[in-house]
Amino acid sequence: MPYKILKKKQLDKSGILVEIDIHAPLIAKKANPGNFVLIRINEKGERFPLTIADFDRSQGRITLVFQIVGKSTLLLSHQEQGGELLDVVGPLGNEIQIKKYENPIVIIGGGVGIAPCYPQAKAFKEAGNSIISILGARTSDLIFWQDKMAALSDKLIITTNDGSEGLKGFVTVPLKDILAEEKISLVIAIGPLIMMKNVALMTSGIEGLPKIKTLVSLNTIMVDGTGMCGGCRFASKNGEIHFACVEGPDVDGHMVDFDILLNREKRFIDLEKKSYDLYKQECKVLEEIEKNKKI
């Protein structure tokens, strides 16, 4: 059954961040914070995971936010409102455990990882928690959903690598100050692997800071989403193998061997670039054909 695109919105000036709403009533009915879906755009497309950024059970709608990084995400960005996706499978993965904590929760979103922070912040706020949110990106143009996150946060901090908005530097800069100044019950980090690695390191008890329970989202390469293919496997620091699609995607950040995961992330960079470049060239050829038809 094809899935209709209800809305499409560009989130940044450069056009690499895109928000789409999809009509998927059965998925919306069962979706919870932390869940993801597997997308296949057409019969020739690959399956790739996107974490659910929001959902509306009454409207049968799920919201996804993605960054254009390869052929599949570029192809998805070319789909228009009213168009259809061939497959949307989910909700998959485990929902994050929501409860009331004694002390504040710190929720950290890096880049496109800001989007999946929203449903988690919403659920924790509804449970009565005090929330400190930190949103970070390379530059101000890549910060989005500030208003939505501010509405759920007792305190909202923005960081940019270039200092174009908020504090200059990485998300760990304000996090270090927070951990030194007040008691925190839980830290949640969603974003690039290197960001989550550094957050987990900072909350592990280094430099006299307290050790804080930390969850990270490992929305890695997934194919079947059920733990059968092994595409999402990752190693813990004690050498055990885990599977993000069935044990996560949110897992204990202190047990993840991020060095292995970072090396593994590089495996398909060359192939992804080749596929991306070929698809862009194909798009240019098709554009020229359409232009010639109108002449």
* 231-263: pLDDT as tens digits: 788 889 998 999 888 888 999 999 999 998 888
Per-residue confidence (pLDDT) for residue 54, from 0 to 100: 96
Residue 242 lies in a domain: no
Domain assignment present for residue 223? The answer is no
Q: Are 86 and 116 members of one domain?
A: no
Q: Residue 194's pLDDT is what?
A: 94
**Domain end residue (candidates: 182, 217, 252):** 217
Of 264, 283, 291, 265, the residue nearest 74 (C-alpha): 283
Last residue of a domain, one of 92, 122, 142: 92
Domain of 152, CATH number, reads 3.40.50.80
The answer on 171 and 131 residing in a single domain is yes
Instruction: State pTM to two decimals.
Output: 0.89
How are beta strands 233-235 and 241-243 bridged, if at all?
A: antiparallel
Answer whether residue 229 is part of any domain: no
Structural domain count of the chain: 2
Q: Which of 59-63, 93-97, 133-137 is predicted with the least confidence, judged by mean pLDDT?
A: 93-97
The reply to whether 83 falls in a domain is yes
Please indicate, yes or no, whether residues 7 and 63 belong to a single structural domain of this protein.
Answer: yes
**Closest to 121 measured CA to CA, from 147, 143, 95, 152:** 152
Domain membership of residue 231 (yes or no) is no
Does residue 134 carry a pLDDT above 70?
yes
Q: Does residue 4 have a pLDDT over 80?
A: yes
In a domain, 225, yes or no: no
232 belongs to a structural domain: no
Angle at 193 between CA 94 and CA 123, to 5 degrees: 35
Kindly state whether residue 250 falls inside one of the protein's structural domains. no
Q: Which domain does 50 fall in, by range?
A: 3-92
CATH number of the domain that 56 lies in? 2.40.30.10
pLDDT at 290 over 60: no
Please give the pLDDT value at position 174.
96
- The pLDDT assigned to 287 comes to 58
Is residue 76 domain-shared with residue 126, that is, in the same domain?
no
Give the pLDDT score at 269.
73
Kindly report, residue by residue over 36-87, the tens digit of the pLDDT. Answer: 999 999 998 888 899 999 999 999 999 999 999 888 888 999 999 999 999 9
